[in-house]
Amino acid sequence: MTEKFNALYAQSGGVTAVINASACGVIETARQHSDKIGKVYAARNGIIGALTEDLIDTSLESDADIHALRHTPAGAFGSCRHKLGSLEKNRSQYERLVEVFSAHNIRYFFYNGGGDSQDTAHKVSLISKELGYPITCIGIPKTVDNDLPFTDNSPGFGSVAKYVAVSIREAGMDVASMALTSTKVFVMEVMGRHAGWIAAAGGLAAEKEGDAPHIILFPEIPLNTEHFLKRVQDCVKKYESCSIVVSEGVKNAEGNFISEQGLVDAFGHKQLGGAAPVIAKLIKDNLGYKYHWALADYLQRAARHIASKTDVEQAYAVGKAAVEMALAGKNAVMPIIVREKAETYRWSIGEAPLEKIANVEVKMPREYITEDGFGITSACREYLSPLIQGEDYPPYAHGLPVYVKLKNKAVEKKLSKTFEIT
């Protein structure tokens, strides 16, 4: 009988509609390999739970509850944005991790997050070599920003993309219905501080001439007020209304976020009011059109009710693959989504080394944005469209989605020392 080791799973960074589907993939797959993996612990509130020995025993959760993670948004075990420093400068943190791993017989570490988190995962993977504790570390990709390298797309993005496309289609129809005598301009602000992937996804809703959105404002394209206002005016003249998707990361010609300009409160303090109201006001002041605006914020990344089936399947698959890779003796890798060269969209799971993923941000290619800077090209559409395919509705009771809340029972602490997060 070979010795069994426990696994530790942690969620990191901003949560998504499908990060729990990855957790589900990890835990269900580990349960299928109970001959090799003992318990799956989860770190409460991400890496902080690992450092403070605040571990959750997922073995106390029923199969049904673990399965329900697949359709439950947000982070079931809590997440955080804590970054580990370099091994050289912050050796004590890594030594602490080894203490915790060792005390709980943990030899597998699965870290589910974006670029920063994969950097942490990479550093943890170096523990074996640097500190002599045998740990198998596998990263699991997650980010609504879709900016991870190697992988064709990032789990979490497809569902935000679907939410944004569905929402602007619906709101655009609303505005168009009323445009003759009421609101002519609608502005919807979406996430994406550094890259326009999410804003671009809104463009999928415009399938026919005149469909919303009529204009997309990307962080990659500095706002040219004159061109923009001309385009809004042309659009209202032609279609009676103008629906706009604006990324929170849109900058002016001077390179400053437009969301940070202009608004102050009664005391003269600068107000972070969002990009949408600034754009709406710009239009009102210059063209006089009545406007409405929306700011989706967390609604977009939490919207499990309208998740992309493709996204859910991929999120589950990378969780599953992470466990399989660990069992196959791999280390310091991250499962990735590989788009196969085929007539119709097909994907499979590949892998990439954590070392090369850490801190690399993939930008949206310029050729995905139309030359005028206000829309997406057919190449962009071809890339994005498969990622929002399919619906994967959660179960409902009393008219509301039934999302699982796990017991999240703490594992008994074994270390006498506590650890202060700084």
Q: Which is nearer to a second copy, 161 or 352 (CB)?
A: 161
Shortest separation between residue 18's beta carbon and a second copy, angstroms: 12
Phi and psi at residue 378, to the nearest 5°: -70, -30
Neighbours of 322 (CB within 10 A): 32
Residue ranges in 12-151 assigned as alpha helix (H): 19-32, 47-51, 63-68, 91-103, 115-125, 127-131
Q: What's the 3-state SS for 302-323?
A: HCHHHCEHHHHHHHHHHHHHHH
| Rounded Cα distance, 415 and 420, in Å | 14
Neighbours of 353 (CB within 10 A): 16
Q: Which is nearer to a second copy, 134 or 210 (CB)?
A: 210
Q: Which is nearer to a second copy, 85 or 353 (CB)?
A: 85
Shortest separation between residue 177's beta carbon and a second copy, angstroms: 4
- 366 close to 379: Cβ distance less than 8 angstroms: no
Shortest separation between residue 230's beta carbon and a second copy, angstroms: 22
| Rounded Cα distance, 369 and 378, in Å | 9
Nearest alpha-carbon partner for 23 in 7, 37, 34 = 7
Q: Which is nearer to a second copy, 132 or 395 (CB)?
A: 395
**Residue type at 116 in one-letter notation:** D
Shortest separation between residue 181's beta carbon and a second copy, angstroms: 4
Cα angle: 366, vertex 220, 311; to 5 degrees: 75
Shortest separation between residue 394's beta carbon and a second copy, angstroms: 10
Nearest alpha-carbon partner for 314 in 37, 16, 77 = 16
> How does DSSP classify residue 96?
H
Query: Is 174 one of the annotated active-site residues of the chain?
Result: no
Q: Which is nearer to a second copy, 17 or 322 (CB)?
A: 17
Q: Which is nearer to a second copy, 31 or 413 (CB)?
A: 413
Phi and psi at residue 155, to the nearest 5°: -55, 135
Shortest separation between residue 297's beta carbon and a second copy, angstroms: 4
* H or E segment and range at residue 40: strand 37-43
Q: Which is nearer to a second copy, 171 or 357 (CB)?
A: 171
The structure tokens listed for 32 are 């299928």
Write down the catalytic residue from 54, 57, 145, 392. Answer: 145
Query: Facing residues of 247 across strands?
Result: 190
Shortest separation between residue 102's beta carbon and a second copy, angstroms: 25
The structure tokens listed for 374 are 């206000």
Q: Which is nearer to a second copy, 353 or 394 (CB)?
A: 394
Q: CA torsion angle for 158, 394, 8, 420 (degrees, to 10)? A: 80
**Residues 6 or more apart from 209 whose CB is under 8 A from it?**
none
**Residues 6 or more apart from 52 whose CB is under 8 A from it?**
418, 419, 421
Shortest separation between residue 321's beta carbon and a second copy, angstroms: 24
Active site residues: 145
